[in-house]
A and B are shown apart, each in its own frame.
Chain A
Amino acid sequence: AQTIHQWPVAEIKAVGSPLSLGCTIKGKSSPNLYWYWQATGGTLQQLFYSITVGQVESVVQLNLSASRPKDDQFILSTEKLLLSHSGFYLCAWSLRDKLSNERLFFGHGTKLSVL
Chain B
Amino acid sequence: AQKVTQTQTSISVMEKTTVTMDCVYETRDSSYFLFWYKQTASGEIVFLIRQDSYKKENATEGHYSLNFQKPKSSIGLIITATQIEDSAVYFCAMREGDSNYQLIWGSGTKLIIKP
On A, residues with C-beta under 8 Å from B are: 32, 34, 42-46, 49, 51, 57, 59, 88, 90, 92, 99-101, 103-106, 108-109, 111
Contact = CB atoms under 8 A, between A and B. Distances in A.
Given A100-B33, A101-B52, A109 B101 contact: no
Which of A44, A99, A100, A103 has the most C-beta atoms of chain B within 10 angstroms of its own C-beta? A100
Contact of A49 (B42, B102, B108): B102
A100 B31 CA distance: 10
Contacts of B107: 42-43
A49 B102 CA distance: 8
A49 B50 CA distance: 21
Nearest to B43: A109
Contacts, number: 60
Contact of A99 (B44, B47, B52, B100): B100
Interface residues of B, number: 28
B54 to A, nearest CB: 10
Contact of B95 (A42, A59, A100, A106): A100
B50 A103 contact: yes
Contacts of B52: 101
A101 B50 contact: yes
A112 to B, nearest CB: 12
B91 A43 contact: yes
